[in-house]
Amino acid sequence: MTGPAVLLQMALRVEQDIFVVRQRGREVAAAVGLEHQDQVRIATALSEVARDLLHSSNGADVTFAVAAGPAGRPALQVDLTPVRPLEDGRYQPQSGAVARLVDMLGVVQEEGDTVVRMSRRVPANAQALTPERLAELREELGRSAPGSALDELASQNGQLIAALDEVRSQRDELAVLNEELQETNRGVMALYNQLTEELEETNRGVVALYAELDEKSAQLRAASESKSRFLANVSHELRAPVTAIIGLGRLLADSASDPLTAEQARQVGLIRSSASDLLGLVNELLDLAKAESGRIEPNWAEVDLRALYGQLRGTLRALATRPQVELVVEEPPTPALVRSDEVLLAQVLRNLLHNGLKFTEQGEVRLSAERVGDRWSLSVSDTGVGIPPELHERVFEEFYQVPGTTRVGGTGLGLPYARRLVTILGGTLELSSEPGRGSTFTISLPVGGA
Ligand code: ADP
């Protein structure tokens, strides 16, 4: 479409013409395919503007045309050219709502004239406005004579009633919607209250559970403290009499004392060795009680594993009494430094090596060291009897000894004590073993200490 295609022109000069302009506006709007609502809108806007111009400019010439609107869609365009030019070239509708009735309402300059223009898009589903169709419309509109003011008033009334009806039905719809909304709100509130209640109920349960848990762990702590205190007291009290028995035994067996019969000497020997075993047990109990009560404070220092291993190699050689068992102490890789307590660490390693030698009939017991990231991994492995997998954790319990191994002696306190010490040093002590193939105890220690 090039320029606007004019469909109808008319003059607005007297009050009566306002009705005619309104009526014709609606007719043209219907003819080009505007929907009923839009026909009423543009007709209403037109009669408002016509009234304004009649009073301010002595009327206007009105042109109805089809022009290209936004996005190339056709639009109905109505131009009102005032008879007397608009004051300072501007037009402001009396009612602000008028502009909202159409897509565009404003003043444009058209061939030197100041024109008030309004337009409204033709919907996409309307019949196509081809040049032929436009010619047809022009002819139809030219033929139809404008009705009287009364006719227009009657039709305007009809439109008003229809609009009122619509407003009422919309209000009813709104009331129904409101009702539904309130209903939904009540439902949501009920659900929310129920959820809140359930949550509070659950919370109360959790709180009670925690209180119970706290109480239980306090009881457990108290029980463990009593046990440590008992062990410490009993072993402490036992140490003096046992030491006395050993001393007395030594005195009896002394060559400076009265000579004993062979039988007496044998019995005194038994008393002395039993008392020595007992002293060993008492000492181990005391150590464990001390470790468990948290009274062992490590003496942190930079420990040279090479020196420590060398020392163990020397002192333990004497223990390796079986010729079929070799004690191998590997050289740790340099720099072999770890922040730890040398005395405690030596105690643990000695304990593990001692066990290895005790439970190995032939083969070897090996002490090695490996640096893994920022940790040291110290292993004591042997080719001895091994430990069944289901007992791997039990051997770390106090007094537990694998059935059938008791004849080699011991108290069942060495491993729990060793694990306790390693924990105090910030590390872990783990076991991997298979019956008949040997065992490996691995201490993992952070290089920088606990
Ligand atoms: P003890 O050696 O004084 O009996 P431990 O706590 O050191 O006590 O060890 C507990 C038990 O674990 C031992 O009695 C033994 O049955 C088993 N055990 C420990 N070390 C080894 C090992 N290297 N090989 C096989 N069994 C072992």
The pLDDT assigned to 410 comes to: 78
Kindly state whether residue 287 falls inside one of the protein's structural domains.
no
Is the predicted pLDDT of residue 337 greater than 60, yes or no? Answer: yes
Using alpha carbons, list the distances in angstroms from residue 101 to 76, 86, 97, 225, 437: 13, 22, 7, 89, 98
Domain count, the chain: 2
Residue 150: count other Cβ atoms within 10 Å of its Cβ.
9
The pLDDT tens digits of the residues spanning 166-194 come to: 888 899 999 989 998 898 888 888 888 88
Kindly state whether residue 230 falls inside one of the protein's structural domains.
no
Residue written as token pair 């004392």? 257
Is the predicted pLDDT of residue 200 greater than 90, yes or no? Answer: no
Q: What is the number of the ligand 1 atom nearest to the C-alpha of 416?
A: 6
Kindly state whether residue 238 falls inside one of the protein's structural domains.
no
- The values of phi and psi at residue 63, to 5°, are -125, 125
The pLDDT tens digits of the residues spanning 235-269 come to: 888 888 899 999 999 888 888 888 889 998 999 99
Kindly state whether residue 70 falls inside one of the protein's structural domains.
yes
Please, are residues 69 and 32 in contact by the beta-carbon 8 Å criterion? no
Task: Among 98, 120, 147, identify where a domain stops.
Answer: 147
Kindly state whether residue 316 falls inside one of the protein's structural domains.
yes
Q: Which residue has the higher pLDDT, 293 or 36?
A: 36
Ligand 1 pocket check for 439: Cβ under 6 Å: yes
Over pLDDT 70: what percentage of the chain?
A: 98
Residue with CA closest to ligand 1 atom 21 = 355
CA atoms of 421 and 413, how far apart (whole Å): 12
Ligand 1 pocket check for 401: Cβ under 6 Å: yes
CA atoms of 325 and 315, how far apart (whole Å): 16
Task: Among 121, 147, 173, identify where a domain stops.
Answer: 147
Is the predicted pLDDT of residue 209 greater than 60, yes or no? Answer: yes
Is the predicted pLDDT of residue 79 greater than 60, yes or no? Answer: yes
CA atoms of 177 and 395, how far apart (whole Å): 75
Using most ligand atoms within 8 A of CB, pick from 405, 406, 417 the residue to mutate for ligand 1: 405
Ligand 1 pocket check for 395: Cβ under 6 Å: yes
> Considering the chain, what is the average pLDDT of its residues?
89
Residue written as token pair 């109808």? 8
Q: Which residue has the higher pLDDT, 370 or 196?
A: 370
Distance from residue 321's CA to the centre of ligand 1 (Å): 18
CA atoms of 29 and 257, how far apart (whole Å): 142
Distance from residue 398's CA to the centre of ligand 1 (Å): 11
Ligand 1 pocket check for 235: Cβ under 6 Å: no
Whole-structure pTM value: 0.53
**Paired residues of 444 in beta bridges:** 377, 428
* Closest C-alpha among 278, 279, 436, 443 to residue 359: 436
Is the predicted pLDDT of residue 134 greater than 90, yes or no? Answer: yes
**Which domain, by its residues, includes 33?**
5-147
User: What is the pLDDT averaged over residues 7-16?
Assistant: 91
Query: What pLDDT band is residue 290 in, cutting at 50, 70 and 90?
Result: confident
Can you say whether the dihedral through the CA atoms of 417, 418, 423, 428 is positive or negative? Answer: negative
Distance from residue 370's CA to the centre of ligand 1 (Å): 24
Ligand 1 pocket check for 4: Cβ under 6 Å: no
CA atoms of 189 and 221, how far apart (whole Å): 47
Is the predicted pLDDT of residue 148 greater than 80, yes or no? Answer: no
User: What is the pLDDT averaged over residues 134-142?
Assistant: 90
Distance from residue 416's CA to the centre of ligand 1 (Å): 10
Using alpha carbons, list the distances in angstroms from residue 194 to 68, 190, 403: 61, 6, 59
What is the distance between the terminal CA atoms of the chain, rounded to a whole angstrom? 88
Q: Which residue has the higher pLDDT, 17 or 321?
A: 17
Task: Among 98, 132, 147, identify where a domain stops.
Answer: 147
Query: What pLDDT band is residue 86 in, cutting at 50, 70 and 90?
Result: confident
Query: What pLDDT band is residue 1 in, cutting at 50, 70 and 90?
Result: very low
* Closest C-alpha among 385, 297, 305 to residue 349: 305
Residue 421: count other Cβ atoms within 10 Å of its Cβ.
24
The pLDDT assigned to 355 comes to: 94
Ligand 1 pocket check for 414: Cβ under 6 Å: yes
Ligand 1 pocket check for 444: Cβ under 6 Å: no
Ligand 1 pocket check for 438: Cβ under 6 Å: no
Over pLDDT 90: what percentage of the chain?
A: 52
CATH of the domain at 423: 3.30.565.10
Kindly state whether residue 138 falls inside one of the protein's structural domains.
yes
User: What is the pLDDT averaged over residues 271-277?
Assistant: 90
CA atoms of 82 and 73, how far apart (whole Å): 28
User: What is the pLDDT averaged over residues 276-299?
Assistant: 85
Distance from residue 355's CA to the centre of ligand 1 (Å): 6
Local structure of residue 69 (DSSP, 8 states): -
Residue with CA closest to ligand 1 atom 23 = 356
Distance from residue 389's CA to the centre of ligand 1 (Å): 14
The pLDDT assigned to 9 comes to: 93
Kindly state whether residue 115 falls inside one of the protein's structural domains.
yes
Kindly state whether residue 296 falls inside one of the protein's structural domains.
no
The pLDDT tens digits of the residues spanning 210-244 come to: 889 999 999 999 988 888 888 888 888 888 889 99
The pLDDT assigned to 97 comes to: 82
**Paired residues of 378 in beta bridges:** 369, 443
